[in-house]
Structure 1
Amino acid sequence: MIQPVVRSKRYRNVFLALSAFTGSYFFFDDGLPQLRAVVGDQAALAKDNSSHTYCLLSNEKCAIDGANIKLDRNIIRPMEAAKIQIEWPSLPSQAETLELTLEGEEMMMGVYRQKLIRQTGTNLYSGELVLPFCVSDEMTWQGKIAPPANSSQQPVYVSIRMIK
């Protein structure tokens, strides 16, 4: 019969500590630089987006690049539905939907996507916006509203302030 190498709790704890130390060494030696490279790439993307003009959304219309955008309220709260409307006369009548894409500015919370649907016979698109819960008291969401890919129209850039 084969006897186990680790025979007592004391040796098992030493073995576990040594394994944890070795694993953390390889993580910080190999994994951490790769993690820093990924975070650096995301920071570069954020800096690239800063060259755009952002429309800060509220219950007053914000005009940007031929589009008028507004929310149904001034303050957006996490997990509370808010209505967003965009009037975009220069879009072709075949554009039935727009895509709203948002990302957290101060904290990475993933990418929030929402379809905005055209109201029949108008240039008005609308949708319901429910932003996720955040641990901080305030947060800024930045992103864009993009027409369909087959449109020559450029997206408009928006910013939304969320407060608990």
Structure 2
Amino acid sequence: MTLKDHIRPVPDFPKPGILFYDISTLLAHAAAWKEAVRQLHAAVAPLKPDVLVGIESRGFLVAAPLALELGVGFVMVRKKGKLPGDTIRHSYALEYGEDTIEIQDGAVQPGQRVVVLDDLLATGGTMAAAVELIRKVGGTVAGSAYLIELSFLKGRERLAALGVPSHSLMVYDS
């Protein structure tokens, strides 16, 4: 099965000149989605994670079912103010401004092996911030994984500079 056959390209979304790769068509096709989770399992299991972290919000769709398959916990990284209880924050620079992500205090224990997942790797900015946040709470980031990678935006190189290996199921060069 070719997973790219289940990704819908949407031109000029969310703004003119952007080609958006829509995963909703993959999620809607049971056999393709099952195959995607199987391939992620094969890539992530050798990293021996204690817990998977998903980045808001489509990363939740990727990480949660994979955590069930691997028999490990699932933790959310969300934008500031979206998680209940005590949280640990990490702010990071955007092209124009700053953003902040959070994780619940105690969700990742010091020394736990973590794999971080998202639907898409582009520039790697949010993923790099999530890596820094997990390290701030004492977790060891064993790797990252994605359904889609936009290789021309060099996110993989950014994460490699942080010592984080990346695995993508589908790569687009433009």
**What TM-score do you get using the length of structure 2 for normalisation?**
0.25
**What TM-score do you get using the length of structure 1 for normalisation?**
0.26
More helix by share: 2
